[in-house]
Amino acid sequence: MTSSRVVRRVRFDFTAARSDQWAFPRAFLTLMLNGFTVLGPIVEPFLCREMKAALPRIQDEELRRRARHLIAQEHTHERAHEDAWALFQRTGHSLDLLLRATRWLVDDLVDRVVREVANPRLRGLLGLSAVAGAEHWIATLTVTARHLFIPRWLNHPMVDLLAWHGMEEMEHRAVAFDVYRHLGGGEGLRRLGLLLSTVFFVLLTAMSMTWLLAQRPLRSLLLAPLILVDMLCFLFVVDWMAFRWTVALLRYLHPGFHPSRFSDQGFWADFVSRRVEGVVPLDVHPT
Ligand SMILES: [Fe+2]
Ligand SMILES: [Fe+2]
């Protein structure tokens, strides 16, 4: 399995973006993706940390290069999502408390729990299995969101940011999984990793969405019916996400699963090449 080894520096200008309701009237979808966006700079460093810790144990040179490529891409995602914070701050959201709480959960609590695992090899594999699980969810969201990226939403930097991020997630979607397997990770721990990442994904996103709503109570109250209807459409009626995500979950649990089987790389590469200007390729083999 190979991937294109490009790390791109892309800047998205959120200073001129007028509203955080960039996919209106898809109010729930907007809220959910805004919630992910806010959390990017909290979650991406965790993925990088676990992958960096695994690097010295990777015996295969090609796989080590792919792992470095993932780390370099995730670092650029972290910075690009941090730029998006400006939009929320300008539209009246204070993110400080949310960021402090989520940082505590991801950095302190997870770290403390992982340190409880006495066996260092098992500790490393547990972290990697959680990273592989998180990468599976990010890739799943990218693949299942494809039909939502339609032209009438265009001309908002959030669309470009998410499309570029999704494209790179497609490029490195199998790396954490392959590293986990290379280091001898088994099926049971792999499934536990998915469970842990699912719980954290849901918890952190719910926290982020609730916080964004709580910051603008009057507007949130007005939007509430639209959010509710859109949530039902998104999960069960129009987009069938509850069904698609259940399938993704079951696929990952299957012993023969490999992330490279599910790809949407071509669509996203094409979307980004038409939409995002100033994509600057960085070091081809990041160290
Ligand atoms: Fe990422
Ligand atoms: Fe990733």
Residue 120 in contact with residue 114, Cβ under 8 Å? no
Task: List the structure tokens of 148.
Answer: 């939502």
In a domain, 108, yes or no: yes
Of 65, 20, 70, nearest to 50 (Cα)?
70
- For tokens 């490279």, the residue is 260
In a domain, 139, yes or no: yes
Percentage of the chain surpassing pLDDT 90?
A: 64
Taking residues 126-146, what's their average pLDDT? 92
Distance from residue 49's CA to the centre of ligand 1 (Å): 13
CA–centroid distance for 95 within its chain: 19
In a domain, 13, yes or no: no
Lowest-confidence pick of 6-15, 114-123, 124-133, 229-238: 114-123
Taking residues 100-121, what's their average pLDDT? 84
Distance from residue 219's CA to the centre of ligand 1 (Å): 30
For residue 116, what pLDDT is reported?
78
Taking residues 72-96, what's their average pLDDT? 93
Task: List the structure tokens of 90.
Answer: 């300008």
Question: What are the tens digits of pLDDT across the range 41-61?
Answer: 999 999 999 999 999 999 999
For residue 232, what pLDDT is reported?
97
Domain range spanning residue 165?
24-276
Distance from residue 200's CA to the centre of ligand 1 (Å): 16
Counting the structural domains of the chain, the total is 1
pTM, full prediction? 0.90
Question: What are the tens digits of pLDDT across the range 19-46?
Answer: 888 888 899 999 999 999 999 999 999 9
In a domain, 264, yes or no: yes
In a domain, 122, yes or no: yes
Distance from residue 162's CA to the centre of ligand 1 (Å): 10
Distance from residue 28's CA to the centre of ligand 2 (Å): 24
Helix, strand, or coil here: 15? coil
40 alpha carbon, closest ligand: 1
The highest-confidence range among 7-16, 103-112, 233-242, by mean pLDDT, is 233-242
Distance from residue 216's CA to the centre of ligand 2 (Å): 31
Is 77 or 273 the better-scoring residue by pLDDT?
Answer: 77
In a domain, 15, yes or no: no
For residue 285, what pLDDT is reported?
41
Distance from residue 260's CA to the centre of ligand 1 (Å): 17
Count of CB atoms situated within 10 Å of the CB of 66: 23
Question: What are the tens digits of pLDDT across the range 247-268?
Answer: 999 999 999 899 987 667 778 8
CATH code of the domain covering residue 88: 1.10.620
Distance from residue 218's CA to the centre of ligand 1 (Å): 33
Across the chain, mean pLDDT equals: 88
3 alpha carbon, closest ligand: 2
Where does the chain have alpha helices with state H?
Answer: 27-54, 61-90, 96-103, 110-115, 120-144, 157-171, 175-182, 187-215, 217-232, 241-253, 265-275
134 alpha carbon, closest ligand: 2
In a domain, 19, yes or no: no
pLDDT at 275 over 80: no
